[in-house]
């Protein structure tokens, strides 16, 4: 089964990029070696986001992410795992889970 793993981070907290990128490199390598990784990317800050809505045929663009929450989507992975427990085990290893939160959702085929 494929699972989308979304990593939410508090953007107001300054990140230690050097440490973080090496943690993520290690983590990503492990995912690749285990054959679990299907896709993944880091997103730029939510200040670069634009949200689109169409209401009554009118296109509305707003500056910023869909939800004004403290924690914003910062990146994602797509795992291929046997079941949820396996996906959760990998998600718990994600460096982002230590400070922010990681949501795991199965993909509809």
Q: Considering CB under 8 A, how many residues would be counted as binding other proteins?
A: 11
CB of 104 to other proteins, least distance (A): 8
1 binds other proteins (CB under 8 A): yes
Q: What is the DSSP string of 32-84?
A: HHTT-EEEEEEPPPGGG-EEEEEETTEEEEEES-SS--SEEEEEEEEEE-SSH
CB of 63 to other proteins, least distance (A): 34
Considering only residues 58 through 97, tell me which ones interact with other proteins, judged by CB under 8 A.
Answer: 81-85, 87-88
| C-alpha to C-alpha distance for 48 and 5, rounded to whole angstroms | 21
In the bound state with other proteins, the residue whose beta carbon lies nearer, of 8 and 79, is 79
CB of 68 to other proteins, least distance (A): 26
A 10 A CB-CB count for 98 gives: 10
| C-alpha to C-alpha distance for 81 and 103, rounded to whole angstroms | 15
Interface with other proteins (CB under 8 A): 1, 3, 81-85, 87-88, 105-106
């Amino acid at each position: 089964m494929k699972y989308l793993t979304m990593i939410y981070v508090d953007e107001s907290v300054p990140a230690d990029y050097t440490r973080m990128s090496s943690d993520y490199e290690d983590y990503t390598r492990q995912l690749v070696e285990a054959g679990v990784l299907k896709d993944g990317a880091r997103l730029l800050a939510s200040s670069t986001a634009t949200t689109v809505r169409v209401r009554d045929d009118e296109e509305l663009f707003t500056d910023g992410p869909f939800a004004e929450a403290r924690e914003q989507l910062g990146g994602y992975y797509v795992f291929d795992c046997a079941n949820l427990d396996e996906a959760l085990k990998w998600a718990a290893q994600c460096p982002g889970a230590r400070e922010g939160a990681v949501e795991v959702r199965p993909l509809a085929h």
